[in-house]
Amino acid sequence: MGQKERIPQLDIFRAVAIFAVIAIHATSRTLAETLDTSMFHPFLFINKFSQFAVPSFVFLSGFVLFYNYIDRPLSGKTLGKFYSRRLIYIILPYVVFSLMYFILKMTAGHTWSMPLDEMARKLGKYLLTGTAYTHLYYIIIIIQFYILFPLMLWCLQKVRRLAAWAPIIGLLLQWGFVLLNKYMTNHGYWQLSKGSLAITYFSYFLLGAAIAVYYGPLKKWLILSREGWRSGKGPGWIVLWVLWAAAGIIHVELWFNNYTKKTVINSLWYEGFSNLHALLSCIVLLQLSFLLYGTGKLLLSRMLISIGACSFGIYLLHPALLFLYRKLPFHGGSLAYTAAIAGGWLVALLGSWLAVALIFRYVKPAWIVFGSGPQMPKKKAAL
């Protein structure tokens, strides 16, 4: 089997997605602090429009996994290497940062007097559920997909044309669970935390799988270019981007009415427009990544590629920097408040990017903390 084409644009995809992750966290407090003020709507827009972030990373995980493995034999050796790499580069850093955030929470809450057995139980629960800090649930979701991946891969290898139906299958499974969970909860049977279950992200993961399998023929449509416009692809691109913007705006406005007008709307409307916007975002971000990449030699392109290559470490570290930043006293009116929130986003992004990049450059065992490090591009390298 020949090596697959390397896709450096995916690092730009990661960079844009991590921008959105940090935007969500940087504005998390603004919704309560600016309610009933003129600043509320803009901050709500940033926070809710950026909700595509985690689904986009789930989509990218599906894309990368199936792109890499769809043509490989599903052998014990392949699976052994697959899981050993995930253990080293994903789970180990997750455990390290869970411990770090556990210490941070215990220190901030002044709860070190807690009995050791209770402390151990709390830490164990945090590790199993991804709740040591608000962002770590994503690792638990990805681990679930890693467990399910060999079965999904086997199905698509046996029936390759099934990949065309994968996003539909993902939607049916995801929405079947959403509806079941909603109406069973309403009848008092159970209530599950949807956000930490992989099934609530199936449509994104399997969309990534489908695009990975058909990447060759789809690539020409994904790349925005003059030649593509002249060949008639332009109207399709316009429709995609207009639908993407409209779905995101409607999702924001539903939340705005909920907060300001106390309008009671069926939660499935929020779920539906969030899902639609996130699915469209996955494709829009792919197109944007190709557009921003250019030759890969521009300063902006190089910066985005570097941020994307460090994105896992940035994801793990940035909440700690944001936590420390919020300890600083800020005073002033709306302009100063906006500058403070923007400053938090910049500190969380640039501070964590600089730290991760420098540690990878000068500390050999950096993988223990931040996972797989940035790689120098090669002419013939696997994705």
The whole-number pLDDT of residue 383 equals 41
Q: What is the pLDDT of residues 266-284, one digit of tens each?
A: 889 999 999 999 999 999 9
Average pLDDT over residues 171-199: 79
The whole-number pLDDT of residue 225 equals 87
The whole-number pLDDT of residue 187 equals 57
The whole-number pLDDT of residue 381 equals 40
What whole-number distance in Å separates Cα of residue 338 and Cα of residue 41? 13
Q: Which of 263, 141, 286, 275 is nearest to 212 (CA)?
A: 286
Q: Which of 318, 350, 278 is nearest to 53 (CA)?
A: 278
Average pLDDT over residues 162-181: 94
Helix H or strand E segment including 9: helix 9-26
The whole-number pLDDT of residue 277 equals 98
Q: Return the residue matching tokens 């599906």.
A: 62
Does 301 have pLDDT greater than 80?
Answer: yes
Does 46 have pLDDT greater than 50?
Answer: yes
Percent of the chain residues past pLDDT 90, beyond the cut: 81
Q: How far is CA 88 from CA 78, 94, 376, in A?
A: 16, 10, 20
Does 18 have pLDDT greater than 80?
Answer: yes
Does 382 have pLDDT greater than 50?
Answer: no
Average pLDDT over residues 213-221: 92
Q: What is the pLDDT of residues 113-126, one digit of tens each?
A: 999 999 999 999 99
Label residue 69 by pLDDT band (50, 70, 90). very high
**Among the ranges given (179-183, 338-342, 348-352), the one the predictor scored with the smallest mean pLDDT:** 179-183
The whole-number pLDDT of residue 379 equals 44
DSSP 198: G
Task: Report the C-alpha dihedral over residues 73, 56, 129, 127, rounded to 10 degrees.
Answer: 70
Cα 30-32-37 angle, rounded to 5 deg:
80
The whole-number pLDDT of residue 226 equals 87
What whole-number distance in Å separates Cα of residue 221 and Cα of residue 231? 10
Decide: residue 300, CB within 10 A, 0-12 exposed, 13-18 middle, 19+ buried: exposed
Q: Which of 273, 277, 367, 353 is nearest to 321 (CA)?
A: 353
